[in-house]
Chain A
Amino acid sequence: MKVTAMNNSILKQSLRERRKSIFFWGIGVFAYALFVGLLYPSIEGIEGFAQISEELPEGVQALLGEIGDITSPTGYLAAELYGFTLPLLLSILGIGYGANTLTKEERSGTVELLLASPVSRRNIIRQKALAVFLTIFSAGFAVWLGIAISTLIVDFDVSLLRVALATLAATLVAVAFGMISFMISALRGQKGLAIGITTVLFVVSYFSNTLAPLVDAIKPLQNASLLHYYDALDILTYGLSYWQASVAVIVGLLAYAISMIGYEDRDIGV
């Protein structure tokens, strides 16, 4: 009896095809994280910085997010990297690759080679989604590595476990946005549409989260914002709660499930 192959050839091929991009993204975010870590001693020594951040108007504080004492290692990391920059960078990577991995095969026509083989569409989705996850995850790991190495070079006293948890949380947020982008591309086969809608979602998510404390009308939206469940300072200070992590995981899994169902029923390559 013939059996359907359940190997990971498509995953390997997808990662191999993207290896240069994965490498340069990794180098880029690693270098950025390393410099953030290495620059900490020069921030630490600035007197009155903590006072300035406390005296900022409420509106500006809301826009910047809760950053705490910027001269403390956790406050500094939250302000310079984890609060906004890291989820933004990883989400850009996730949204772009999530939109591209299926649609590139469709645009170029190589998807016909996959579909003409004894591979189920669900298997294609499984492997392509895993490629998106691993791509974002590898960039997240490079960030953690950059911080970890900086602590060996300069006096930067942070818990590498909590830095890892914050990196994981940012990665999960990016994976969730990446999977939403992936889902739209699986349902519609259009890269531009997937990037456009998911980018708007990210922007709305960011502003609804940051402006909610200032504008009552936005408050109901805040709970729907993925970024609302990502509090970098809190994670860097106290660790990651299951609740914080689970929202991004649930959104990511839901988008993955819808991708499976939608891709199964769609006419492809028309």
Chain B
Amino acid sequence: MKQPLTLTNFTKKYGASIGAHDISLQVKPGEVFGFLGPNGAGKTTTIRAILNFIKPTSGSISLFGKDSVTDSVAVKHDIGYLAGDIALYGHMNGKELLEYIASLGKKVDWKYVDQLADQLKAQLDRPIKDLSKGNKQKIGLMQAFMHKPALILLDEPTSGLDPLMQQVFYDIVEEAQREGRSIFISSHNLQEVQRLCTRAAFIREGKLIAIEEIGESHRLNYRRYMITFKKQPNQDELESIESVSDVSVHKNQARVTVTGQPNKFLRALSKYDVLDLGEEEVHLEDMFMHYYEGDSNE
């Protein structure tokens, strides 16, 4: 089977500014591939070029062995797309919208559409302009998946979804992956990429920094914890624990970063009287800082 997606030295310039610079990557059949970077890093630019909304300044993009520009129409039968800030026709209801998109040439499996509507609890009979952001996002997800495309491009797919629906979304992605379809997820949410992806590319300021195998990457196994102790802990002692860094202590609370397996951290923690332990969201910028520190230490 031909590679679903190959970027070869893809560059996009807007006058003097660079949207994406010399990006090369390949998404394999059946792979969930993460595309991770802060806002403005070039993720959306890259996705728009893959879909031929914008043309590469140099380099090329191929989909299933076909060129993204010259074979743009043909390849779109096999592509699903969810925009980051999805825009839908407000005067239509969800069902009308899905029918309209289907009428544009995608071969839709309507039984699967019903199944998706059930799974996501989508409201298909109300005008889209009256729906909340989360409910619009559900319709956006449905139109991306409804024709069971071989490659699905998702730009910030869970924005607006509540945690329960995020879990449903993860189930849908995993099911698609089991069926051998490839999924390209652009995100600035590290946990989401860790949860779903087999590999991830890291992009910053338009440049590809690295491509990592998620499961095997020690550096990506990176979490922030907030610990509440019975008594104020000693900061030096916490910093001396292997795999722990970025320690800050305030009264009886401490924030720490744990890299890699958490075993040693948990064992060390058992010596203390711990009242509470919670995981905090990792900000991508922090992760990048950590990532570069890792590079410089090696």
Contact = CB atoms under 8 A, between A and B. Distances in A.
Contact of A117 (B14, B86, B91, B105): B105
B10 to A, nearest CB: 14
Interface string A1-30: 010110101100100010000000000000
A112 B54 contact: no
Contacts of A110: 87-89
Interface in B25-68: 48, 51-55
A118 B92 CA distance: 21
Interface string B90-126: 0100000000110111110000000000000000000
Nearest to B97: A113
B74 A9 contact: no
Given A5-B103, A9-B104, A109-B83, A267 B89 contact: no
A4 B73 contact: yes
A110 B72 CA distance: 18
B87 A117 contact: no
Given A109-B83, A113-B143, A267 B77 contact: no
A205 interface: no
A108 B105 CA distance: 22
Given A109-B83, A113-B88, A119 B55 contact: no
A196 to B, nearest CB: 23
B216 interface: no
Chain A interface category by residue count: 20 to 34
Contacts of A4: 73-74, 105
Contacts of A5: 103-105
Contacts of B83: 109, 112
Interface string A235-270: 000000000000000000000000000000101111
A5 to B, nearest CB: 3
Given A110-B88, A113-B104, A118-B77, 5 more contacts: A13-B100, A110-B89, A113-B143, A118-B73, A267-B55
Chain B binding site: helix, strand, loop or mixed by DSSP? loop
A2 B88 CA distance: 26
Contact of A119 (B53, B87, B104): B104
A160 interface: no
Contacts of B107: 2
Chain B interface category by residue count: 20 to 34
Nearest to B91: A17
B74 A268 contact: no
A109 B86 CA distance: 7
Interface of B: 14, 48, 51-55, 72-74, 76-77, 79, 81, 83, 85-89, 91, 100-101, 103-107, 143
A60 interface: no
B61 to A, nearest CB: 14
Nearest to A113: B101
B87 A114 contact: no
Given A113-B101, A116-B81, A2 B74 contact: yes
A236 to B, nearest CB: 41
A267 B53 contact: yes
Interface in A110-137: 110, 112-120
B73 A120 contact: yes
Nearest to B80: A116
A-B complex: 4 closest residue pairs judged by Cβ atoms? A109-B87, A5-B105, A117-B104, A118-B105
A112 B87 contact: yes
